[in-house]
Amino acid sequence: MKILHTSDWHLGHRLHEHSQHEEHALFLQWLADYISQNHIDVLLLAGDVFDTGAPSSQSLKLYYDFLVNLRKSNCHSVFITGGNHDAPGTLDAPKELLHALSVHVVGKATEVLSDEVFTVECNGEKLQVAAVPFLRDQDIRRAVAGESFDQITERYKQALMRHYHEAAGICQENASEKIVTIAMGHLFAIGGKVSDSEQSIYVGNLGDIGAEDFPETFGYMALGHLHRPQKVGGKDHIRYSGSPLTLSFSEVNQEKQVLAF
């Protein structure tokens, strides 16, 4: 089974008021060709599909045309999670229709956590994907009257990591010797190198999550949010794919990529 990890497309982005629509169209055509030519079975898109919560019809057309075109390739399944730039409703609205095309979408944290865990089979192999979207504070932590900022920070981190550990527990219940388990996420991890184009998603140290905080259940962590391709904590299996396009002048010398394995 061959898997490709990408993130942070930011469809509709304007670089200093100049549209990047043509660049995005060329990238998506290249990506569709790459998936077909390299026989990619599974595509992971870890958040920030769009640059704004109200994408233009032009950006939406790019997105849906790409997903439809994938039906011409060998790609068996697609997993898409929401990022901090995405409006959960925009991503989730067509999820039932997209599911019929083997495109699995999780725009925001679900009420039933098992709805974020998927199992697919391809070429005689099984894959589990914990498709965890960007976890907003209000989605995973209940407010408590009189909390200090430090208490909020600690309780949010605990809630975030509990979300991943509970997802890992669901995966373990269905584990077998011949199953690969992957998680997706859209967050900032400690030590990550930022560019000028990322929007801050935490206040203070609210998102101080390190490589050691993620469950060992996951053989690979497909992360989004940081636009520079990089490992987390030197771990080969915890990675940001980075954005496929240059989104600010601070990224001019960055080597852009998608990750296939």
| 256/228 Cα distance (integer angstroms) | 8
Order the strands of the 103-106 sheet from edge to edge. 103-106, 77-81, 42-46, 3-6, 259-260
**Which range has the worst mean pLDDT, 18-22, 111-115, 171-175?**
171-175
Which CATH number do you get for residue 207?
Answer: 3.60.21.10
Long-range contacts of 253-258 (CB under 8 A, 24+ apart): 254/195, 254/227, 254/228, 254/229, 255/229, 256/229, 257/229, 258/4, 258/5, 258/6, 258/31, 258/34
pLDDT above 80 for 99:
yes
Closest to 184 in 3D by CA, of 93, 82, 92, 111: 82
pLDDT at 203 (0 to 100): 44
Instruction: Could you list the beta-strand ranges (E) of the chain.
Output: 3-6, 14-15, 18-19, 42-46, 77-81, 103-106, 117-122, 125-131, 179-186, 220-224, 230-232, 235-240, 259-260
| pLDDT tier at 60, thresholds 50, 70, 90 | very high
- Output the pLDDT for position 162: 93
Q: Which residues, 6 or more positions from 114, have their beta carbon under 8 angstroms from its beta carbon?
A: 170
Rg of the chain in Å (alpha carbons): 18
The C-alpha torsion from 144 through 150 and 153 to 159, rounded to 10°, is -50
Taking the C-alpha atoms of residue 67 and residue 61, their distance in angstroms, rounded to an integer, is 10
pLDDT tens-digit readout, 122-150:
888 999 999 999 998 887 766 555 566 56
CA angle 216, 221, 226 (to 5 degrees): 135
Beta strands in 125-240 (DSSP E): 125-131, 179-186, 220-224, 230-232, 235-240
Average pLDDT over the chain reads 90
What confidence tier does 251 reach under pLDDT thresholds 50, 70, 90?
A: confident
CA-to-CA distance for 236 and 247, rounded, in angstroms? Answer: 25
Q: Is the pLDDT of residue 248 over 70?
A: yes
Phi, psi of 43 (to 5 degrees): -115, 130
Backbone angles phi, psi at 251, to 5 degrees: -105, 5
Domain extent, residue 231, equals 3-260
Q: What is the DSSP letter of 47?
A: S
Exposure string over 17-42, b if 16+ CB within 10 A, otherwise e: eeebbeebbebbeebbeebeeeebbb
Number of domains in the chain: 1
For 154-206, how does the pLDDT look when each residue is reduced to its tens digit (9 = 90+)? 778 888 999 999 999 999 998 777 899 999 999 988 877 777 666 655 544 45
Question: Global pTM?
Answer: 0.91
Instruction: Provide the pLDDT for residue 137.
Output: 81
What pLDDT does 177 receive? 72
